[in-house]
Chains A and B, each alone.
Chain A
Amino acid sequence: MEYMLLIHADPAGFASMPEAARNQALAAYGAYTDALNKAEVLRSSNRLRPADTATNVKVREGKTEVHNGPFIETREQLGGYYLIDVPDLDAALKWAARCPGASHGTVEVRPVWEM
């Protein structure tokens, strides 16, 4: 089954880290991504720019409306994701627990709707 690991974290915490700690955190993500690749479970992954770079679009009555800002104002923001393919939820939870994001934020595990 495919699962999306959504990393929710406070970007302020990351921004305020000393550079050495920040590099260490990035290295941890690199190592984690390598481990997922090695286990051949990684479908795709990306880090997202902070939510204040977000732009929202909706179409109402034929009109396109564009708005600045995050969709939801929260301290913890969606900062990135991993899409993995593993046998069951327990396997997905094990990978989620190893994700560096689980240590400084929360990793939400969502099953992918199979089409």
Chain B
Amino acid sequence: MGDVAAWQRAEAAARGSYGKLVAFLAARTHDVAGAEDALAEAFATALAQWPAEGVPHNPEAWLLTVARRRMMDAVRRRIHDGAASEYFLLVEELARDDEAPELPDRRLELLFACAHPGIDAAARAPLMLQTVLGFDAGAIASAFLVAPATMGQRLVRAKTKIRQAGIPFNVPGRADLPERLDAVLAAIYAAYAEGWVDAEGADARRRNLAEEAIWLGRLLAQLMPEEAEALGLLALMLHAHARRAARRDAAGEYVPLGWQDTALWDHALIDEAEELLKRASRLAAAGRYQLEAAVQSAHAVRRHGGAVPWPAIVQLYEALQAITNSPVAALNRAVALSHVDGAAAALAALPQDARLADYQPFWAARADLLARSGNREAALAAYERAIGLESDAAVRRFLQQRAAAA
């Protein structure tokens, strides 16, 4: 029984403290891999000792002390490769605040280091998941559908870059902040989108990824409560996540947003998202994530029996298009417009953009608009393209049914 309690305490400490411990241990030396290794040893020691000797009064401080000693040992072993300054830093720290009452939270700095422009963009989200949440490379690889060896290498390279290129652990100054924060937000959103792809929730690891991304989003929103876009991103993810149970019917068939049973939406998550969006708008710094969350919020009025405010959605997509110059925003604007001014107006507003040539939703939207305008032949051709581009079998079946009904 003692074992189970010790395990649980260690697990709880791991979850809550892992990122804080990595961030703190790596902040000065820039040695993320070294910090992780030392922590792994500290956790192993904890699991060996706590069941017999009891859980220490402050598990976090205990883990920090043990990990720091391990790190010192490791540095001492390779002191010949120019690590003397690191060693003295660690000795200094160890001597000074072994009994420090509270661990300074440097996770925000760690997130910025992980999303530094000098880090391969494909490695940023995985690096965050590993360093802040303690995921192993194998779990991250399967969540991102990448071979474990490839992911392992990517992570090692990124950590080596942080260490050898001297990527700093700090929150960028005002001048650089917007761009650098964008990279942090984009990495978190990329992790969310990866998890979202698995709509059926068949793969628990991928579904989990969406939840871990939300965890990171919550962390960021908590660490930067004055950054409107950090709140906006969290609101966007919560809105989308609130609908996960409604995206498929009992038979596993795809249900488009407009047809979803609102009783299946997670209303607590939607309430939280709405509150975040309100807080964000008071900060008066609009941005793409807030606009996208606002679109989600507009769709959410259906849960109280309201009609979707399409003219407002058209305007939101116009603003989004102005900020991002994204053809997807233009496409979504055209689709929203079809609910205001009809299918013909929407067809005329469909963007002509080469970047959409292989984008399934473009062809599905075009097919739907053509069918609604009575151009059945062209609609069928567009449906065929859309079906050919879709990898999800349930969505393919849905498109086939639409084509048959056109």
Contact = CB atoms under 8 A, between A and B. Distances in A.
Interface class of chain B by DSSP: loop
Interface stretch (A36-44, A82-90, A98-106): A82-90
Contact of B165 (A87, A111, A114, A115): A111
Interface string B37-61: 0000000000000000000000000
B166 A89 contact: yes
A89 B167 contact: yes
A88 B82 contact: no
Contacts, number: 26
Contacts of A115: 82
Interface in A22-41: none
Interface residues of A, number: 12
A85 B118 CA distance: 19
Nearest to B112: A90
A106 B293 CA distance: 38
A1 B86 CA distance: 13
Interface string B146-166: 000000000000000000111
A87 B52 CA distance: 46
Given A114-B82, A115-B82, A90 B172 contact: yes
Interface in A61-93: 87-90, 92-93
Contacts of B168: 87-90
A111 B118 CA distance: 12
Contacts of B166: 1, 3, 87-89, 92, 111
A71 B170 CA distance: 39
A89 B165 contact: yes
Interface in B97-137: 116, 118
A115 B172 CA distance: 30
A89 B166 CA distance: 5
Contacts of B82: 114-115
Interface string B166-196: 1110101000100000000000000000000
B124 to A, nearest CB: 15
A24 B198 CA distance: 57
Contacts of B118: 89, 93
A33 B168 CA distance: 25
Contacts of A93: 118
Nearest to B163: A111
Contacts of A90: 167-168, 170, 172, 176
Contacts of A92: 166
Nearest to B173: A90
Interface string A1-18: 101000000000000000
A92 to B, nearest CB: 8
Contacts of B167: 88-90
For A3, A111, A115, the residue with the greatest tally of chain B CB atoms inside 10 Å of its CB is A111
Contacts of B176: 90
A109 B167 CA distance: 12
B164 A111 contact: yes
Given A89-B165, A93-B118, 9 more contacts: A87-B168, A88-B167, A89-B116, A89-B118, A89-B166, A89-B168, A90-B172, A111-B165, A114-B82
Interface of A: 1, 3, 87-90, 92-93, 109, 111, 114-115
Among all A-B residue pairs, the 6 with the closest Cβ atoms: A88-B168, A1-B166, A88-B166, A89-B166, A114-B82, A89-B167
Interface of B: 82, 116, 118, 164-168, 170, 172, 176
23 contacts: A1-B166, A3-B166, A87-B166, A87-B168, A88-B166, A88-B167, A88-B168, A89-B116, A89-B118, A89-B165, A89-B166, A89-B167, A89-B168, A90-B167, A90-B168, A90-B172, A93-B118, A109-B165, A111-B164, A111-B165, A111-B166, A114-B82, A115-B82
